[in-house]
């Protein structure tokens, strides 16, 4: 069975386009430092909102989403800190987006998502729910307040 010349060109063009697509995905991932969240096995220990200071520049934030709030709602950390966010939900599916940090996770009941973020610049980074979760959805916000170690 001999392949037609046009079919061969279409197949080659398709392979080149697929290769270009894969290359652009990898390029964008490295350039924009995208972070794919991890899914951890469910553990009840992650369902209590808290902030753990591991050392001077490393923190763990256990964030719990529920109608219509994130807990903790204010997270204070110093500039240059690396923060591991562990995220879960007490009820429905919620979104978790940190402005200016390219972080986008889903808070799902019975599941734990984890991502790591470094905050190199001082400022207030808003966390918003981007998944419609009910009537009070528009009020569902939290903040990461990044400042110099001596300020608060």
For the stretch 133-152, pLDDT in tens is 888 888 899 999 999 776 55
For the stretch 66-108, pLDDT in tens is 988 999 999 999 999 999 999 999 999 999 999 888 889 999 9
Q: Same domain, yes or no, for 51 and 118?
A: yes
**Per-residue confidence at 38, pLDDT binned at 50, 70, 90?**
confident
Q: Same domain, yes or no, for 12 and 83?
A: no
More confidently predicted of 115 and 37: 115
Q: Same domain, yes or no, for 23 and 50?
A: no
Q: Same domain, yes or no, for 30 and 63?
A: no
Q: Same domain, yes or no, for 52 and 120?
A: yes
Q: What is the overall mean pLDDT for the chain?
A: 90
Residue 25 lies in a domain: yes
**Closest Cα to residue 70, out of 39, 42, 91?**
91
Beta bridge partners of 98: 103, 127
DSSP state of 109: B
CATH code for position 139: 2.60.40.420
Domains in the chain, number: 2
Q: Same domain, yes or no, for 104 and 52?
A: yes
What is the predicted pLDDT for the residue at 9?
94
- Tokens (6 digits) for 68: 């219509």
> What is the helix (H) or strand (E) element at residue 20, kind and residue range?
helix 5-31
The 10 Å Cβ neighbour count of residue 83 is 22
For the stretch 104-133, pLDDT in tens is 999 999 899 999 999 999 999 999 999 998
Q: What is the domain range of residue 135?
A: 38-147
CA angle 140, 143, 149 (to 5 degrees): 165
């Amino acid at each position: 069975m001999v392949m037609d010349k046009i079919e061969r060109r279409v197949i080659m063009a398709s392979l080149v386009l697929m290769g270009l697509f894969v290359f652009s995905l990898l390029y964008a991932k490295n350039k924009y430092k995208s972070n794919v969240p991890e899914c951890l096995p469910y553990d009840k220990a992650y369902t209590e909102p808290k902030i753990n200071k591991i050392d001077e520049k490393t923190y763990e934030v256990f964030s719990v989403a529920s109608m219509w709030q994130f807990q903790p709602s204010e997270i204070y950390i110093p500039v240059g800190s690396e923060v591991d966010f562990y995220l879960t939900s007490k009820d429905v599916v919620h979104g978790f987006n940190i402005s200016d940090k390219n972080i986008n996770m889903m808070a799902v009941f019975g599941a734990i998502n984890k991502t790591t973020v470094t905050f190199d610049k001082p400022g207030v980074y808003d966390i918003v729910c981007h998944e419609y979760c009910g009537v009070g959805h528009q009020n569902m916000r939290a903040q990461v307040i990044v400042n110099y170690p001596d300020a608060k």
